[in-house]
Structure 1
Protein backbone atom coordinates (compact mmCIF):
# COMPACT_ATOMS: atom_id res chain seq x y z
CA UNK A 1 0.00 0.00 0.00
CA UNK A 2 2.77 2.42 0.94
CA UNK A 3 4.65 1.47 -2.23
CA UNK A 4 1.55 2.15 -4.36
CA UNK A 5 1.05 5.52 -2.68
CA UNK A 6 4.70 6.40 -3.26
CA UNK A 7 4.45 5.42 -6.94
CA UNK A 8 1.27 7.46 -7.36
CA UNK A 9 2.92 10.45 -5.70
CA UNK A 10 5.99 10.14 -7.94
CA UNK A 11 3.81 9.82 -11.05
CA UNK A 12 1.77 12.86 -10.02
CA UNK A 13 4.89 14.93 -9.45
CA UNK A 14 6.32 13.87 -12.81
CA UNK A 15 3.06 14.75 -14.58
CA UNK A 16 2.95 18.15 -12.88
CA UNK A 17 6.55 18.79 -13.87
CA UNK A 18 5.84 17.87 -17.51
CA UNK A 19 2.68 19.99 -17.59
CA UNK A 20 4.54 22.92 -16.05
CA UNK A 21 7.34 22.55 -18.60
CA UNK A 22 4.85 22.37 -21.49
CA UNK A 23 3.03 25.45 -20.19
CA UNK A 24 6.33 27.32 -19.91
CA UNK A 25 7.22 26.34 -23.50
CA UNK A 26 3.80 27.46 -24.73
CA UNK A 27 4.06 30.73 -22.86
CA UNK A 28 7.57 31.32 -24.21
CA UNK A 29 6.38 30.62 -27.78
CA UNK A 30 3.34 32.89 -27.35
CA UNK A 31 5.61 35.66 -26.06
CA UNK A 32 8.00 35.23 -28.99
CA UNK A 33 5.10 35.25 -31.48
CA UNK A 34 3.64 38.37 -29.85
CA UNK A 35 7.02 40.09 -30.03
CA UNK A 36 7.50 39.22 -33.72
CA UNK A 37 3.85 40.09 -34.37
CA UNK A 38 4.43 43.60 -33.05
CA UNK A 39 6.99 44.04 -35.84
CA UNK A 40 4.43 43.03 -38.49
CA UNK A 41 1.05 44.13 -37.11
CA UNK A 42 0.53 47.85 -36.39
CA UNK A 43 -2.31 47.33 -33.91
CA UNK A 44 -2.12 46.22 -30.28
CA UNK A 45 -2.50 42.47 -29.77
CA UNK A 46 -3.63 43.14 -26.21
CA UNK A 47 -6.43 45.44 -27.45
CA UNK A 48 -7.67 43.05 -30.13
CA UNK A 49 -8.95 39.53 -30.65
CA UNK A 50 -8.16 37.31 -33.63
CA UNK A 51 -11.07 35.03 -34.56
CA UNK A 52 -10.43 32.06 -36.84
CA UNK A 53 -13.51 30.28 -38.17
CA UNK A 54 -13.10 27.14 -40.25
CA UNK A 55 -15.64 26.61 -43.03
CA UNK A 56 -16.29 23.75 -45.44
CA UNK A 57 -14.60 25.71 -48.23
CA UNK A 58 -11.83 27.45 -46.26
CA UNK A 59 -12.27 29.88 -43.44
CA UNK A 60 -12.77 33.39 -42.14
CA UNK A 61 -10.20 35.38 -40.16
CA UNK A 62 -11.38 38.40 -38.22
CA UNK A 63 -9.43 40.83 -36.10
CA UNK A 64 -11.64 42.99 -33.90
CA UNK A 65 -11.15 45.40 -31.03
CA UNK A 66 -11.96 44.19 -27.52
CA UNK A 67 -13.46 47.59 -26.68
CA UNK A 68 -14.74 50.46 -28.80
CA UNK A 69 -11.47 51.83 -30.16
CA UNK A 70 -11.70 53.58 -33.55
CA UNK A 71 -7.91 54.06 -33.74
CA UNK A 72 -7.18 50.34 -33.29
CA UNK A 73 -10.04 49.44 -35.67
CA UNK A 74 -8.49 51.69 -38.33
CA UNK A 75 -5.08 50.07 -37.87
CA UNK A 76 -6.66 46.62 -38.15
CA UNK A 77 -8.47 47.57 -41.37
CA UNK A 78 -5.35 49.05 -42.93
CA UNK A 79 -3.27 46.00 -42.04
CA UNK A 80 -5.78 43.32 -43.05
CA UNK A 81 -6.56 45.01 -46.39
CA UNK A 82 -2.82 45.00 -47.18
CA UNK A 83 -2.39 41.42 -45.97
CA UNK A 84 -5.31 40.20 -48.10
CA UNK A 85 -3.66 41.72 -51.19
CA UNK A 86 -0.33 40.09 -50.31
CA UNK A 87 -1.94 36.70 -49.68
CA UNK A 88 -3.93 36.90 -52.93
CA UNK A 89 -0.59 37.40 -54.71
CA UNK A 90 0.88 34.33 -52.95
CA UNK A 91 2.99 36.40 -50.55
CA UNK A 92 2.81 34.85 -47.07
CA UNK A 93 6.01 36.47 -45.74
CA UNK A 94 4.20 38.11 -42.80
CA UNK A 95 2.91 34.89 -41.20
CA UNK A 96 6.25 33.25 -41.90
CA UNK A 97 8.06 36.07 -40.10
CA UNK A 98 5.74 35.80 -37.11
CA UNK A 99 5.19 32.03 -36.89
CA UNK A 100 8.22 30.56 -38.70
CA UNK A 101 8.84 28.80 -42.01
CA UNK A 102 7.51 25.48 -40.68
CA UNK A 103 4.09 26.93 -39.81
CA UNK A 104 1.51 24.22 -40.59
CA UNK A 105 -0.38 24.80 -43.84
CA UNK A 106 1.83 27.66 -45.01
CA UNK A 107 3.78 25.77 -47.70
CA UNK A 108 0.56 24.50 -49.33
CA UNK A 109 -1.00 27.97 -49.28
CA UNK A 110 2.10 29.48 -50.82
CA UNK A 111 2.07 26.80 -53.55
CA UNK A 112 -1.58 27.40 -54.51
CA UNK A 113 -1.98 28.03 -58.22
CA UNK A 114 -3.70 31.21 -59.46
CA UNK A 115 -7.47 30.84 -59.12
CA UNK A 116 -7.34 27.98 -56.61
CA UNK A 117 -7.69 30.22 -53.57
CA UNK A 118 -9.96 33.26 -53.39
CA UNK A 119 -9.03 35.77 -50.70
CA UNK A 120 -11.31 38.73 -49.99
CA UNK A 121 -11.18 41.51 -47.43
CA UNK A 122 -13.98 43.57 -45.92
CA UNK A 123 -14.23 46.18 -43.17
CA UNK A 124 -16.07 45.45 -39.94
CA UNK A 125 -17.21 48.30 -37.70
CA UNK A 126 -14.72 47.14 -35.06
CA UNK A 127 -11.95 45.76 -37.28
CA UNK A 128 -11.65 43.71 -40.43
CA UNK A 129 -12.16 40.31 -41.99
CA UNK A 130 -10.39 38.15 -44.53
CA UNK A 131 -12.34 35.28 -46.12
CA UNK A 132 -10.47 32.38 -47.70
CA UNK A 133 -12.39 30.20 -50.19
CA UNK A 134 -11.31 27.22 -52.28
CA UNK A 135 -12.76 24.11 -53.87
CA UNK A 136 -9.43 22.29 -53.46
CA UNK A 137 -9.52 19.85 -50.49
CA UNK A 138 -5.75 20.14 -49.94
CA UNK A 139 -6.07 23.92 -49.55
CA UNK A 140 -9.06 23.60 -47.20
CA UNK A 141 -6.89 21.28 -45.08
CA UNK A 142 -3.97 23.72 -45.28
CA UNK A 143 -6.18 26.65 -44.22
CA UNK A 144 -7.53 24.67 -41.26
CA UNK A 145 -3.98 23.69 -40.21
CA UNK A 146 -2.89 27.30 -40.59
CA UNK A 147 -5.82 28.52 -38.48
CA UNK A 148 -5.03 25.93 -35.76
CA UNK A 149 -1.39 27.07 -35.67
CA UNK A 150 -2.45 30.70 -35.29
CA UNK A 151 -4.90 29.83 -32.53
CA UNK A 152 -2.13 28.01 -30.69
CA UNK A 153 0.50 30.69 -31.22
CA UNK A 154 -1.67 33.69 -30.36
CA UNK A 155 -2.97 32.12 -27.13
CA UNK A 156 -5.46 34.27 -25.24
CA UNK A 157 -5.43 36.92 -28.01
CA UNK A 158 -7.17 34.48 -30.38
CA UNK A 159 -10.31 32.37 -30.42
CA UNK A 160 -12.02 29.89 -32.70
CA UNK A 161 -15.22 30.98 -34.39
CA UNK A 162 -18.09 28.50 -34.25
CA UNK A 163 -20.40 28.60 -37.23
CA UNK A 164 -20.05 26.61 -40.40
CA UNK A 165 -22.69 28.47 -42.38
CA UNK A 166 -22.28 32.17 -41.64
CA UNK A 167 -19.54 34.67 -42.37
CA UNK A 168 -20.07 36.82 -39.29
CA UNK A 169 -18.58 35.85 -35.94
CA UNK A 170 -18.41 38.30 -33.11
CA UNK A 171 -16.10 38.34 -30.13
CA UNK A 172 -17.62 38.81 -26.72
CA UNK A 173 -18.72 42.38 -26.27
CA UNK A 174 -18.91 43.16 -29.98
CA UNK A 175 -21.99 43.64 -32.09
CA UNK A 176 -22.78 43.14 -35.75
CA UNK A 177 -22.21 45.98 -38.20
Structure 2
Protein backbone atom coordinates (compact mmCIF):
# COMPACT_ATOMS: atom_id res chain seq x y z
CA UNK A 1 0.00 0.00 0.00
CA UNK A 2 2.80 2.43 0.90
CA UNK A 3 4.61 1.57 -2.32
CA UNK A 4 1.51 2.40 -4.37
CA UNK A 5 1.11 5.74 -2.58
CA UNK A 6 4.77 6.55 -3.18
CA UNK A 7 4.47 5.64 -6.85
CA UNK A 8 1.40 7.89 -7.19
CA UNK A 9 3.22 10.77 -5.51
CA UNK A 10 6.23 10.38 -7.82
CA UNK A 11 3.97 10.24 -10.87
CA UNK A 12 2.24 13.47 -9.78
CA UNK A 13 5.63 15.18 -9.40
CA UNK A 14 6.72 14.04 -12.86
CA UNK A 15 3.48 15.45 -14.30
CA UNK A 16 4.17 18.85 -12.67
CA UNK A 17 7.76 18.83 -13.95
CA UNK A 18 6.58 17.97 -17.46
CA UNK A 19 4.22 20.96 -17.49
CA UNK A 20 5.31 23.77 -19.83
CA UNK A 21 5.48 27.38 -18.66
CA UNK A 22 2.46 28.19 -20.87
CA UNK A 23 0.47 25.37 -19.27
CA UNK A 24 1.49 26.54 -15.79
CA UNK A 25 0.48 30.15 -16.53
CA UNK A 26 -2.86 29.01 -17.89
CA UNK A 27 -3.49 26.72 -14.91
CA UNK A 28 -2.53 29.37 -12.34
CA UNK A 29 -4.19 32.33 -14.05
CA UNK A 30 -7.38 32.02 -11.98
CA UNK A 31 -5.33 32.72 -8.83
CA UNK A 32 -4.29 36.12 -10.19
CA UNK A 33 -6.96 37.16 -12.70
CA UNK A 34 -10.71 37.05 -12.02
CA UNK A 35 -11.64 36.58 -15.68
CA UNK A 36 -11.51 33.36 -17.68
CA UNK A 37 -8.32 33.12 -19.76
CA UNK A 38 -10.04 30.90 -22.33
CA UNK A 39 -12.62 33.64 -22.96
CA UNK A 40 -10.08 36.43 -23.35
CA UNK A 41 -6.93 37.38 -25.20
CA UNK A 42 -3.98 39.48 -23.98
CA UNK A 43 -2.65 41.87 -26.62
CA UNK A 44 0.85 43.33 -26.26
CA UNK A 45 1.89 46.30 -28.34
CA UNK A 46 5.42 47.60 -27.92
CA UNK A 47 5.75 51.29 -28.75
CA UNK A 48 8.46 53.94 -28.87
CA UNK A 49 7.34 55.17 -25.43
CA UNK A 50 6.84 51.77 -23.77
CA UNK A 51 3.81 49.72 -24.59
CA UNK A 52 0.13 48.99 -24.34
CA UNK A 53 -1.28 45.82 -22.83
CA UNK A 54 -4.93 45.12 -23.62
CA UNK A 55 -7.15 42.33 -22.38
CA UNK A 56 -10.13 41.70 -24.65
CA UNK A 57 -13.02 39.26 -24.63
CA UNK A 58 -13.23 36.78 -27.47
CA UNK A 59 -17.03 37.20 -27.50
CA UNK A 60 -17.96 40.93 -27.50
CA UNK A 61 -21.34 40.18 -25.91
CA UNK A 62 -19.72 38.64 -22.80
CA UNK A 63 -20.38 41.58 -20.49
CA UNK A 64 -19.51 39.60 -17.34
CA UNK A 65 -15.96 38.97 -18.60
CA UNK A 66 -15.62 42.61 -19.73
CA UNK A 67 -16.52 43.80 -16.23
CA UNK A 68 -13.99 41.42 -14.66
CA UNK A 69 -11.25 42.54 -17.07
CA UNK A 70 -11.91 46.21 -16.27
CA UNK A 71 -11.97 45.59 -12.54
CA UNK A 72 -8.69 43.67 -12.66
CA UNK A 73 -6.75 46.04 -14.94
CA UNK A 74 -7.87 49.12 -13.00
CA UNK A 75 -6.59 47.47 -9.82
CA UNK A 76 -3.34 46.41 -11.50
CA UNK A 77 -2.70 49.96 -12.78
CA UNK A 78 -2.89 51.27 -9.22
CA UNK A 79 -0.49 48.59 -7.98
CA UNK A 80 1.98 49.00 -10.87
CA UNK A 81 2.16 52.77 -10.21
CA UNK A 82 3.49 51.88 -6.74
CA UNK A 83 5.95 49.33 -8.11
CA UNK A 84 3.84 46.40 -6.93
CA UNK A 85 4.12 43.71 -9.60
CA UNK A 86 3.25 40.86 -7.24
CA UNK A 87 0.44 39.48 -9.43
CA UNK A 88 2.61 39.01 -12.54
CA UNK A 89 5.37 37.70 -10.27
CA UNK A 90 3.02 35.11 -8.78
CA UNK A 91 1.94 34.00 -12.23
CA UNK A 92 5.19 34.22 -14.21
CA UNK A 93 7.90 34.12 -11.54
CA UNK A 94 10.13 36.75 -9.97
CA UNK A 95 12.87 36.42 -12.59
CA UNK A 96 10.81 37.67 -15.55
CA UNK A 97 12.90 39.81 -17.90
CA UNK A 98 12.48 43.53 -17.18
CA UNK A 99 10.49 43.07 -13.99
CA UNK A 100 13.24 44.01 -11.53
CA UNK A 101 13.76 47.38 -13.25
CA UNK A 102 10.03 48.14 -13.25
CA UNK A 103 9.67 47.27 -9.57
CA UNK A 104 12.74 49.23 -8.50
CA UNK A 105 11.76 52.55 -10.11
CA UNK A 106 7.98 52.92 -10.28
CA UNK A 107 8.18 56.69 -10.81
CA UNK A 108 10.15 56.17 -14.04
CA UNK A 109 7.13 54.60 -15.76
CA UNK A 110 3.73 56.22 -16.05
CA UNK A 111 0.98 53.59 -15.98
CA UNK A 112 -2.52 54.56 -17.11
CA UNK A 113 -5.75 52.58 -17.36
CA UNK A 114 -8.54 52.97 -19.91
CA UNK A 115 -11.66 51.06 -20.88
CA UNK A 116 -12.09 49.51 -24.31
CA UNK A 117 -15.41 48.36 -25.79
CA UNK A 118 -14.34 44.69 -25.42
CA UNK A 119 -12.22 45.02 -22.25
CA UNK A 120 -9.56 47.40 -21.01
CA UNK A 121 -5.93 48.38 -21.45
CA UNK A 122 -2.88 49.57 -19.56
CA UNK A 123 -0.48 52.04 -21.13
CA UNK A 124 3.13 52.07 -19.92
CA UNK A 125 5.09 55.22 -20.81
CA UNK A 126 8.67 56.20 -20.06
CA UNK A 127 11.36 58.48 -21.45
CA UNK A 128 14.18 56.42 -19.96
CA UNK A 129 15.88 53.94 -22.30
CA UNK A 130 16.56 51.43 -19.50
CA UNK A 131 12.89 51.32 -18.52
CA UNK A 132 11.74 51.28 -22.14
CA UNK A 133 13.88 48.18 -22.64
CA UNK A 134 12.49 46.69 -19.41
CA UNK A 135 8.90 47.18 -20.61
CA UNK A 136 9.68 45.59 -23.97
CA UNK A 137 11.44 42.64 -22.35
CA UNK A 138 8.59 42.18 -19.86
CA UNK A 139 5.97 42.31 -22.63
CA UNK A 140 7.94 39.77 -24.69
CA UNK A 141 8.13 37.35 -21.77
CA UNK A 142 4.39 37.64 -21.08
CA UNK A 143 3.58 37.18 -24.75
CA UNK A 144 5.64 34.00 -24.81
CA UNK A 145 4.21 32.59 -21.59
CA UNK A 146 0.55 33.28 -22.36
CA UNK A 147 0.84 31.31 -25.60
CA UNK A 148 -2.45 30.95 -27.48
CA UNK A 149 -4.13 33.36 -25.06
CA UNK A 150 -1.97 36.27 -26.27
CA UNK A 151 -0.88 38.06 -29.41
CA UNK A 152 1.41 40.92 -30.42
CA UNK A 153 0.30 43.97 -32.35
Normalised by the length of structure 1, the TM-score is 0.74
Matched residue, 1:62: 54
The alignment's C-alpha RMSD in Å is: 1.4
Unaligned runs of 5+ in 1: 1-24, 162-177
Q: Distance in 2 between matches of 1:61 and 1:117?
A: 14
Task: Work out which of the two has the higher radius of gyration on C-alpha atoms and give 1 or 2.
Answer: 1
Deviations 1:62-106 (A, max 9, x none): 000011211000000000000000000110000000000111110
Structure 1 partner of 2:92: 99
- Equivalent residue, structure 2, for 1:166: none
* Greater helix share, structure number: 2
Between the two proteins, the alignment pairs up a number of residues equal to 136
Change (3 A) 1:125 1:144: same
The answer to whether the aligner puts 1:74 opposite 2:98 as a matched pair is: no
Partner residue of 1:141? 133
Indicate if the aligned counterparts of 2:50 and 2:125 stay in contact, CA closer than 8 A.
Answer: yes
Secondary structure in structure 2 of the residue aligned to 1:53: strand
- TM-score norm. by structure 2 comes to 0.86
Aligned to 1:169: none
**Could you give the per-residue CA deviations for residues 26-66 of structure 1, whole angstroms, max 9, x where no partner exists?**
x6211111122110000010000100000001000000001
1:157 counterpart = 2:152 = no
2: distance between equivalents of 1:55 and 1:96?
23
Runs of 4+ in 1 over 2 A off after TM superposition: none
Q: Deviations over 1:94-133 (max 9, x none)?
A: 000000011111001001152x110000011110000000
Which residue matches 1:124? 116
CA–CA distance in structure 2, aligned partners of residues 148 and 40 of structure 1: 19
Cα separation, 1, equivalents of 2:41 and 2:110 = 24
Query: What SS does the corresponding residue of 2:35 show, helix, strand or coil?
Result: coil
The structure 2 residue matched to 1:42, chosen from 24, 34, 45, is 34
